[in-house]
Structures are given as structure tokens and as C-alpha cells.
């Protein structure tokens, strides 16, 4: 149980275009989802906390107008990288915390999305 999927797994785009990444909790409902980015050989850095039905909370230094987050339902959150640039190339990972016990305070991670901006 507690499976989180991400789509797409890999995306290559041209500089200036926008890319949308989906994060879904497949077998549980999650009021809160988290978006992280990971640079090569580095740890995960939290970008934003996404709450269903409300605006996302962004970490300091993360541009909310560049990284648009929408959490429209209890099973889906999307991250849109707008006007992507090569420096946005990274591994983006989402996670979700179940709404209900017994795992309500545990995070389950998606498989990640590798974004390459040319």
C-alpha cells in the first residue's frame, strides 16, 4: 500500500517552455504533498508544501511564480516549471502523507521526474 506515482518519469524540453509534473497518491488520500528537488549527488531540498484546496507554502528562495503548484484533489498535486531554463534541470520528487492512520505521519515518495532543459 501507500504508492505514489509521478508522471512523466523523464522530460526533455527547450529553454523557455513550461513543463508540468504530476504527483498522485494511488491508494490513499493525502491532504498534504511535498515537492523536492535534488541536484546530482546532493540531498533533497524541500521546495514547497502543497495543501489540498489552498495555496502552497514555498520555502525561502523558491520562486512561486516560476514553480506553480496546484493541489486540486486529495490524490493529485501538480508542479509546473514555467519558462524553464537549463539551471532548472534537476530531479524533482514528490511525497505524500496519508490522511488517515496508521501511516498518517509518514511520507511516501514518488519515483521522481528527471527534467532536462536544453
Instruction: Decide: 23 and 33 in contact? Cβ < 8 Å.
Output: yes
Cell of 116: 532536462
Question: Which residue number, 34 or 67, has a Cβ lying nearer to other proteins?
Answer: 34
Question: Which residue number, 8 or 16, has a Cβ lying nearer to other proteins?
Answer: 8
Task: Give the integer Cα–Cα distance in Å for 42 and 39.
Answer: 5
CA distances from 7 to 79, 80, 113 (A): 11, 12, 7
Question: Which residue number, 46 or 82, has a Cβ lying nearer to other proteins?
Answer: 46
CA distances from 9 to 19, 61, 84, 104, 108 (A): 12, 25, 17, 26, 17
Nearest to 79 by CA among 50, 110, 108: 50
Which residues would be at the binding site for other proteins (CB under 8 A)? 6, 32, 34, 36, 42-46, 49, 91, 93, 95, 97, 105-112, 114
Q: How far is the CB of 83 from other proteins (least distance, A)?
A: 26
Question: Which residue number, 22 or 91, has a Cβ lying nearer to other proteins?
Answer: 91
Amino acid at each position: 500500500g501507500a504508492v505514489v506515482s509521478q508522471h512523466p518519469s523523464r522530460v526533455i524540453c527547450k529553454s523557455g517552455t513550461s513543463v508540468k509534473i504530476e504527483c498522485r497518491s494511488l491508494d490513499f488520500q493525502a491532504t498534504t504533498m511535498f515537492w523536492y528537488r535534488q541536484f546530482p549527488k546532493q540531498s533533497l531540498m524541500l521546495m514547497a508544501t502543497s495543501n489540498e484546496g489552498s495555496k502552497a507554502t514555498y520555502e525561502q528562495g523558491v520562486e512561486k511564480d516560476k514553480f506553480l503548484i496546484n493541489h486540486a484533489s486529495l490524490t493529485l498535486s501538480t508542479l509546473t516549471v514555467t519558462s524553464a531554463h537549463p539551471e532548472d534541470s534537476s530531479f524533482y520528487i514528490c511525497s505524500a502523507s496519508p490522511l488517515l492512520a496508521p501511516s498518517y505521519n509518514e511520507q511516501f515518495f514518488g519515483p521522481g521526474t528527471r527534467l532536462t532543459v536544453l
